[in-house]
């Protein structure tokens, strides 16, 4: 789906002295909640308070937007602003303005520190975090109550609870989506809860660390080999399919993000949410994910870009978008406002988890290729004859090769 909106009749050749072209992703799942509505309101407000600057917005589906922006840039027709899921390749190619070239000091300083760092290449911020998400363990309260279970706190709790749920006829005691949709998220959550992760303290990949190998050995032995992960093999189970099964009441536990909460409750599934269980207790950190917005240099619109971004990142605009899609704000002030407003109580646990979350290494131009290796390989680690050590080693080698290929 592609939609173009022009506030107040602006077609991109309107009365303004400058027209900014903005390309953004659609977070909705249909016309009723398309992101077009958010941008229409925002652009009308911006243009009313900034005469002389028009904004022309095109909305693309997530399936198409990265390809569309790449094609625009390749043709020498880069948009002024792109809201997509990666910035590093464009920053490394010298196509983006630095954050400090566009934003006021107040706006730049207001980003959550972990997200500002994740938006940086070689210690310089180019990617502006647009919206964020983090993960918690979701469990079906009804199924747990029927089985007399409390919320899990450790891996052993997950294993034991899943075994009891299976005995009581639950179709999928624990959903483990390691299919090609987004397995790097599921894998990273488990790595973090096992004391490992994607990146070490020096910023190098540690995908095949001893901690990560132990984590996947445990998953294979204690959940997969015991038949506790449902009728679909993890390597063939995509995240959305797992989420759909959870909202249908067929899954006991899975790792989820805020948007799943709304859909489950809409379908009448009572949801419990706790920090990711670890080996000895709840994990201190979680996985953090962000989408990005950035300013391209090509048209030389540095000053009007700064005015637009300063407007975009006001608390009202940040909270309006996060609220619409059950996502998390990216600024300190908007986060504080949501944490003090009872309307957003369902998101408080996610807000609390975000500051200590490990964010994907977005600043690495190799991350896209590392993610692809996860998608191709990680499900094999828990197959009947799979070797976690060999599979993680393969992904680590692919990631290292991508790191050294420019």
What pLDDT score does 12 carry? 37
What pLDDT score does 7 carry? 37
Q: Check: CB of residue 114 under 8 Å from CB of residue 355.
A: yes
Give the pTM. 0.86
What pLDDT score does 6 carry? 38
What is the CA angle 41-45-47, rounded to 5? 120
Confidence of residue 259 (pLDDT cuts 50, 70, 90): confident
Which whole number is the average pLDDT over 297-302?
A: 97
Residue found by looking up tokens 């953004």 in the block: 24
What pLDDT score does 215 carry? 98
Look at residues 100, 73, 105 and name the one whose alpha carbon lies nearest to residue 86: 73
Domain segments of the chain: what residues?
2-133+289-358, 136-285+366-403
Q: Phi and psi (nearest 5°) for 80?
A: -70, -35
Q: Check: CB of residue 113 under 8 Å from CB of residue 331.
A: no
Which whole number is the average pLDDT over 298-322?
A: 97
What pLDDT score does 4 carry? 46
| In the chain, % of residues over pLDDT 70 | 96
Beta strand 136-140 pairing with 251-256 = antiparallel
Confidence of residue 404 (pLDDT cuts 50, 70, 90): confident
Segment 33-82, tens digit of pLDDT: 899 999 999 999 999 999 999 999 999 998 899 999 999 999 999 999 99
What pLDDT score does 32 carry? 83
What's the DSSP call for residue 75? T
CB atoms closer than 10 angstroms to residue 13: 10
Bridge partners, residue 271, by sequence: 140
What pLDDT score does 16 carry? 57
Same CATH topology for 2-133+289-358 and 136-285+366-403: the answer is yes
Look at residues 370, 356, 85 and name the one whose alpha carbon lies nearest to residue 207: 370
Q: State how far the Cα of 377 lies from the Cα of 375, in Å rounded to an integer.
A: 6
CATH code given to domain 136-285+366-403: 3.40.190.10
What pLDDT score does 147 carry? 97
User: Which two tokens mark 289?
Assistant: 């994910």
What pLDDT score does 157 carry? 98
Examine the pLDDT at 150 and tell me if it is beyond 80.
Answer: yes
Q: State how far the Cα of 260 lies from the Cα of 188, in Å rounded to an integer.
A: 19
Least confident interval from 5-9, 180-184, 392-396: 5-9
Is 2-133+289-358 CATH 3.40.190.10? yes
Confidence of residue 29 (pLDDT cuts 50, 70, 90): confident
Task: Give the chain's mean pLDDT.
Answer: 93
Q: State how far the Cα of 281 lies from the Cα of 277, in Å rounded to an integer.
A: 6
What's the DSSP call for residue 355? G
What pLDDT score does 10 carry? 36
Which residues fall within 8 angstroms of residue 282, CB to CB, at 6 or more apart?
A: 153, 274, 275, 276
Which whole number is the average pLDDT over 253-259?
A: 93
Examine the pLDDT at 13 and tell me if it is beyond 50.
Answer: no
């Amino acid at each position: 789906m592609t939609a173009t909106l022009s506030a107040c009749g602006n077609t991109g050749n309107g009365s303004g002295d400058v027209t900014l072209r903005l390309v953004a992703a659609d977070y909705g799942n249909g016309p009723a909640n398309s992101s077009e509505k958010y941008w229409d309101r925002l652009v009308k407000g911006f243009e009313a308070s900034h005469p002389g600057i028009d904004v022309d917005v095109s909305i693309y589906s997530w399936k198409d937007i990265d390809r569309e922006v790449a094609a625009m840039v390749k043709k020498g027709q880069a948009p002024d602003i792109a809201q997509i899921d990666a910035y590093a390749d464009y920053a490394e190619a010298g196509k983006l303005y630095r954050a400090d070239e566009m934003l006021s000091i107040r706006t730049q300083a207001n980003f959550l520190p972990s997200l500002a760092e994740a938006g940086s290449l070689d210690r310089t911020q180019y990617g502006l975090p647009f919206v964020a998400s983090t993960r918690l363990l979701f469990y079906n309260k009804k199924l747990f109550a029927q089985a007399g279970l409390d919320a899990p706190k450790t891996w052993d709790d997950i294993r034991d609870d899943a075994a009891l749920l299976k005995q009581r006829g639950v179709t999928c005691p624990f959903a483990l989506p390691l299919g090609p949709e987004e397995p790097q998220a599921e894998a990273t959550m488990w790595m973090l809860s096992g004391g490992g992760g994607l990146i070490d303290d020096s910023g190098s990949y540690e995908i095949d660390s001893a901690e990560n190998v132990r984590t996947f050995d445990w998953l294979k032995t204690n959940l997969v080999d015991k038949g506790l992960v449902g009728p679909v093999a993890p390597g063939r189970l995509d995240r959305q399919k797992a989420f759909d099964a959870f909202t249908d009441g067929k899954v006991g536990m899975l790792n989820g993000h805020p948007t799943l909460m709304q859909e489950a409750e809409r379908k009448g599934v009572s949801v419990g949410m706790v920090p990711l269980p670890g080996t000895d207790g709840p994990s201190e950190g979680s996985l953090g994910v962000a989408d990005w917005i950035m300013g391209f240099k090509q048209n030389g619109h540095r000053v009007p870009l700064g005015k637009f971004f300063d407007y975009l990142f006001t608390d009202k605009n940040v909270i309006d978008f996060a609220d619409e899609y059950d996502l998390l704000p990216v600024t300190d002030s908007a986060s504080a406002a949501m944490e003090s407003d009872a309307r957003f109580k369902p998101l408080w646990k996610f807000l609390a988890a975000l500051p200590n979350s490990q964010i994907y290494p977005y600043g690495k131009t190799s991350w896209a290729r590392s993610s692809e290796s996860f998608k191709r390989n990680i499900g094999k680690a828990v197959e009947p004859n799979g070797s976690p050590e060999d599979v993680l080693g393969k992904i680590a080698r692919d990631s290292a090769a991508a790191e050294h290929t420019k």
